[in-house]
Each structure stands twice: as C-alpha cells, then as structure tokens.
Structure 1
Amino acid sequence: MENGTFTLQEILSQPQAWASALDVLKASQADIRRFQPGEYAQILFTGCGSTYYLALSAAALTQELTGAPARAFPASELWLNPDIVYTGGKTLLVAVSRSGETSETLHACRAFLDQKRGDLITLSCYPQTPLAGMGTLNLVLPSGQEQSVAQTRAFSTLYLGTMALACEWSGRADLLDALTRLPEAGAQVLENSAGLAGELGQDASLDRFYWLGSGTRYGLACELSLKMKEMSLSHSEPFHFLEFRHGPKSMITDSAVVIGLRSARNGQAEGAVLDDMLALGGRVVDLAFADAPLFPEKATYRLTLPAPLSEAIRNILYLPVGQRIAFERALSKGLNPDRPTHLDTVVKL
C-alpha cells in the first residue's frame, strides 16, 4: 500500500462525511435546543491535541454567535488545574474526542460530573466508547471515523458538529440552513486547491511554515500547523495575524512561507501583515474568500475560495486546503502521513 493511502482518502471524502454528519445533527436538533446558553455562567469546550484546537475555534464561534461567555481549555487543565477553569455557577461543558477514549478527556469529564459542576455534551466519532455514554447529550458522528493517526476528516466533521451547536443556540435558522451547502462548497475547494497544495508541498526549498489566523480562525491555524508537524516533520508554528509582527517575524527568510487564513471583515489589516513578510523576503500564501479585499497584491501564492456562505460558517473550508498541503509535503519527503513518527491514534495514560 502506498504512503498516505488512508490520509488522502480521508481528506478527499470530507464533503460526504459532512453531509452524513448534518443528517445526524438535524435529527438531534430538539435535544441540542434543550441547552440554552443563558442558563449557564459559562460554556467550556475541551479536547486534547487536535480537538483542543477545535475547542478554541468552537468557543470563539459560540461566543460570537450567542454572546454567551465561552472558553476553551485542554482537558488536562480541567482535570489537573480546575481552579483556573471554573468560575462558579453552572457550567456547560462540551467535550470533543475522535476516539472517545482519550484518558485526559475522560478524567476531566468524570471530575466535572463528580463535582456536579453542570451539564455535559460530548462529541465523538465512535459509539460504544466511554465518552459516548457520559454526557447529558452524546452526539456521535460516525462519518468522521478514520484509519490514519493524524486527524483530518474527524477534525472537520467534529468541528462541523460544534458549528451546528452554535447555530442552534443562537437561533440562526439562516445559518443552519446554510450548513447544508458546505459539502458542495468543500468539494469545490478540494478540486480548486489540489494544484496549489502539490506545488507548495513539494517545494523542497521551504524549511519553515507559519500559519496565521485570527478570531474564529486561530484554532484552525493551530490545527493546520499541527498537521504539518505530524505528517511531514516540518518546522511549523501558528500565530494570530497581527501578533506575528511582535517577534516571530525575525524568523522570516527566503525559505520561510507564511500561510494566511484571511477573513473578509479584517482582510485588509491581515493582508498588511502578509505584505510586511513579503518585504522581509519571505514567501506568502494568501488564502481568502472572494469577498475579501485583494491584499496583498504580490502574494507568492493565492487561492481564492468561493464566498456564497456567511463568514461565520465557511471557515471550515480552509481545513482541506491546509491538510492537503501537509499531506503533499509528507510525500515529498518520503514519509507516510498515515503513520506519523512517534504518534499513537489514542493517548491512554
């Protein structure tokens, strides 16, 4: 079997996985609506590794859409350092795990329940696992199941699940309806980005990758940076856009590439950061939707994504692009992205 067989299939099948997950989520609408953000002092999202980065974006989106206080922590912090997490009052905890077996997440949820801190919602991809039976509401999205170690399809499918929660809780019927258009948009993005991913991933002159994303996109930038590390063993770091000027830009050389997950609302300010990195001699990949201002004008690489959807829900479309770049980088280095070095599918303590 060729290197990356499973990973490539899992990346390319995401639109179908999303469509299946949306069917599950639609059937669970009434159960999801039983949890109203106004009844809680805070909403917490948690996970480990990839799903912690998912939690960062999920919390940001939930607060943006509902106005309710929402934060994200690694599950190990909930378990080992609860005093920095819980504020008093009733908490809604949303725990995310691909396997449903990750030790830190299980420890965190058990402690949360034992201490009667509030209500628990779980999201996972496998039924009959410990996490899938722990919550007041357990959402299982089997279409995210994977054979690869590094998460791709599972991450985006579970993230879609948290997006549906935020849309339900905010009462945004328009966004809920628009979620059904994501599979078609995802298929288009996969087709349009294949050339860029191959060209960038196979460029042996690059030795460091920086992923920039702000707002709800920061957690996604973290995840794509992790994919580059896991699959290709490359130097890769994530940053908020404007934070990159505060020190990290010292790492820019002609072998460095800055990949910007640029928004429409703040696209000009974010593009100015990319322009600065071009001026310092770095290379820039501008990933933006069609309604973002054209900026920077001299990007080394540019991929314009379709913009028929609200910015609140379309950020998921950045994921297949970054995943494919990391995949191509791994193959160009003779590595097997299906089985990254030193990694296990599930971390059990």
Structure 2
Amino acid sequence: MFKTGYEILNQYEALKKTYDYILGKKKEIKDFQAKTNYKSVTFIGCGSSYCLCKSAEVSYKLRSGMPANSIAAGDLLVNFPAYKKLLENTLLIAPSRSGSTSEVVLSVEMAKAELGVPCISIAAKQETKLGEIADLSIEIPWAFDESVCQTRTVTNLYLADLLLIGIMLDDTSLVEELEQAIKAGEEHINRTREIAREVVDNEEWQKVVVLADAEIAGIAEEGALAFNEICQLPSNYYHILDVRHGPMVLINGKTLALVGCSPDNESYQKDLIKDLKAKGAVVVTVSARDASFWDSDYNVEIPRYKNFAVNGVPFILVPQLLSYFKALKAGVNPDEPTGLDPWIKL
C-alpha cells in the first residue's frame, strides 16, 4: 500500500490522539487566553492549511460574534503593509504540517516584530521554527504525513482548529460532537471505502467539482485540491448554488460532482443536484440523508450533527479516498506528484 493510502485509512487513530492531547491542554489554552488581549482572530496558512483557515474563520465568527479573518501566508508576507490595520490587536492562529513553511514563519515573525501580536501555532511536528516563535505551541506529530500529499494531517489540523475554537469559546456541544465523529470513524471508513471504489470502478470521470457551504467550505476546497494532487485531475471548489453562476457551462458527462449537503433549505440543493445530473455529471452526496432523498448517484451517509462544522471531519475522507482509488486505477503514484514539494522554503 502507498503511504497515502495508509495515512488516509489510519487517520482516525491520529484523530483520537489529537483530541485527547488538546483536551489535556485545555487549562493551558484557557490561561493563555485569559492573559491575552485581542479583539479579533486571524488564521494564516499556506495551501491545504490555508483552506482549513477559511473554515476556521467562519466557525469562529459564527460562534463568537467576533471579527475573524483568514489570510494566505504568502499574501500576508508580500502585502504586509496593506494588512497592518487588520492585524492590530488580533490573535494569530497558524496551522501547519511542518511548522517550517517559510511564508508562515516569516509572516508571524513580521507580525510579532511590528505589531506585537500573540500567536498560537499548531504543527504536526515537534520543535519547529513556528513553535519556537509562537506564544502557545500545539504539537501533534502523530498526525504528520510522510507522503507529499496531505490527508491525515489535514483532518487532524481541521480537528485541532475546531477544538481550539470550542475550548476558547466554551462550546461544549462542539467539543462533544467532535468526539462522537471520531468514535464513528472506523464504520465511516469501511462504508466510504466501498462507495469510493464503486464510483471509481463503475463511472468514467475526468474532472471534479466539489460543492459545500458555510463552515465546511474551506475543508471542501481542500478536498478539491486533493484531486489535483493525488490523482492529478482538474478539480475546483464552489459554493453549492454558486456553481450555476458560470462553472455550470463546463459540467458534462466527464464530471464528478461531490456535494457536501447542508441540513437547511434542502429543496434548493435538490434542485441543484437535478441540474447537475441533467448536464450528465455523476453526483456523489455526503449528508445525513440517503441517496433516494437527493436523487444522487451515490451518497455517503453520515450522522446528523447539531454543529455543521463537525461534518467536515467525515466529509474530507470522501475526496481523499476517491482521489486515491482514481490514482491507483490510472497508474498514478499518489505519494510522489510531479513538481510538488511537501512544504516550501524560500
């Protein structure tokens, strides 16, 4: 088995460790929060981590009512003067696989030197440069992916972001439901693996659109990136109804549409799925409903959570497995995508 496959299928073991570790740091997190003055939270990252920052931004804003932002670390590094006003009195949160990505490290150093802002780092390695300069360092080395493409690391960083938000905002419901999602992991992997194999073996698709909204939009965008990296097919992310505003013209019989369905206003989503199928797309839904409700071609059923952000944990497994099995079928090595480095050093 390729490293990528192993890391995808073993991610829930790491998720359990991450959950226990971060809950064990609850007092340290709360003590840090109590002594830190900030009026907003800013999440920064690169690539996959930046996608997760987008989800974290929405989760924090919706749950706290406070301002929150997400910025690509490379954008911040190049355009720091333009962002200085936004960064005043903010708390930086920087998720990173390596803790060594130059854009992230240099941006944090600049923000601390010029504005004195505090920083929480989350890294899948120990004793990193990012951890050294952060005011609070969270280290989850069991989540580190040896493969170039991030899978297990992505899910664990997403979990870490949400646990941090849950602890900071005293959102016990979010924290408890994240634990439930982890406990459901083995069954979810077994069910999703079979469905993903069917989609790859029985359908011919050569491009992908990933659709999702709200708190899972960012991790859904990471799902689209997984298809680029792992099976090296063109893929794009859009908000669910936004796909009608231009991208629909490119959807055809060679398109796989992966939809992370929302529990609200389902009729609008059902109409959209009908439109996608009319264009010839193979539609895979991920939801607490079954395939017959959506009239989708395939459905990965997940538990119904009160906190929609929790759906992101089981959702991301679906594009990871689909892209992995597609790579195997196409004879593509998922561990070594041409021209891609595991992290960037400038």
Query: TM-score higher than 0.5 here?
Result: yes
Query: Cα deviation per residue 1:143-184 (whole Å; 9 max; x = unaligned)?
Result: 211211100001111111100111112211232233222222
Q: 1:55 is matched with which residue: 39, 53, 56? A: 53
The 8 Å contact of residues 36 and 169 in structure 1, kept in 2 or not, is answered as: no
| Corresponding position of 1:81 | 79
Query: TM-score when scaled to structure 1?
Result: 0.93
Partner of 1:324: 321
Change (3 A) 1:55 1:36: farther
Q: Report how far residue 89 of structure 1 moved.
A: 3.4
Matched, 1:96 2:60: no
Q: Would you tell me which structure has more helix in proportion to its own residues?
A: 2
Partner secondary structure for residue 180 of structure 1: helix
Distance 1:90 1:128 in 2: 27
What code does the residue aligned with 2:262 have?
S
How far apart, CA to CA, are the structure 1 residues paired with 2:235 and 2:188? 23
1:121 Cα offset (Å): 0.5
Question: Any stretches of 5+ residues in structure 2 without a counterpart?
Answer: none
1:255-308 CA-to-partner distances (Å, cap 9, x unmatched) read 112110111124332332222111222221111124x89643x21112211225
- The amino acid across from 1:335 in the alignment is V
What's the % identity of the aligned pairs?
27
Q: Which residue type is aligned with residue 315 of structure 1? A: G
Q: Deviations over 1:179-214 (max 9, x none)?
A: 222222222211111111112234562111100011
- Cα offset for 1:117? 4.1
1:250 matched to 2:246? no
Q: Distance in 1 between matches of 2:66 and 2:248?
A: 35
- Residue type at the aligned position of 2:158: Y
Label 1:211 to 1:247 Cα distance change in 2 as closer, same or farther (>3 A).
Answer: same
Note if 1:197 corresponds to 2:181.
Answer: no
Residues 212 and 259, structure 1, Cα contact 8 Å, conserved in 2 = yes
Q: Deviations 1:205-250 (Å, cap 9, x if unpaired)? A: 2111100011111111210111101011101111111110000000
Question: Which deviates the most, 203-212 or 54-63?
Answer: 203-212
SS in structure 2 of the partner of residue 259 of structure 1: strand
* Partner secondary structure for residue 73 of structure 1: strand
Measure, in 1, the Cα distance between the counterparts of 2:120 and 2:147. Answer: 26
Q: Could you tell me how far apart the structure 1 residues matched to 2:336 and 2:219 are?
A: 22
Contact 1:267 1:295 in 2 (8 A): no
> Following the alignment from structure 2 to structure 1, what is the Cα–Cα distance between the partners of residues 91 and 46?
18
Q: Give the structure 2 partner of residue 115 of structure 1.
A: 114
Answer yes or no: is the 8 Å Cα contact 1:58–1:163 preserved in 2. Answer: yes
Residue 155 of structure 1 corresponds to 154
Read off the aligned partner of 1:341 and give its amino acid letter: T
Contact kept? 1:38, 1:68, Cα under 8 Å: no
Q: Distance in 1 between matches of 2:88 and 2:103?
A: 23
- Secondary structure (helix, strand or coil) at the match of 1:285 reads strand
Query: In 2, are the aligned partners of 1:143 and 1:157 still within 8 Å (CA)?
Result: no
Note the 1:190-269 alignment, pairs <5 A.
190-203=189-202, 205-269=204-268
Q: Partners of 2:87 and 2:42 in 1: how far apart?
A: 13
| Distance (Å, rounded) in 2 between the aligned partners of 1:141 and 1:28 | 12
CA distance in 1, matches of 2:94, 2:133: 10
For these two proteins, the number of residue pairs brought into alignment is 344
Counterpart position of 1:19 = 16
* Moved beyond 6 Å, runs of 4+: none
Counterpart of 1:74, as a letter, is: A
Cα distance in 1 for partners of 2:307, 2:203 equals 36
**Superposition deviation, residue 31 in structure 1:** 2.1
Q: Please give the TM-score of this superposition, normalised by the length of structure 2.
A: 0.94
What amino acid is the match of 1:175? L
Q: Distance in 2 between matches of 1:284 and 1:318?
A: 15
Residues 206 and 254 in structure 2, CA contact (< 8 A), matched pair in contact too: yes
Q: Which amino acid aligns with 1:49?
A: G
Cα distance between partner residues in 1 of 2:168 and 2:260: 26
Instruction: Decide whether the 8 Å contact of 1:66 with 1:166 is kept in 2.
Output: no
* Amino acid in the other structure paired with 1:165: L
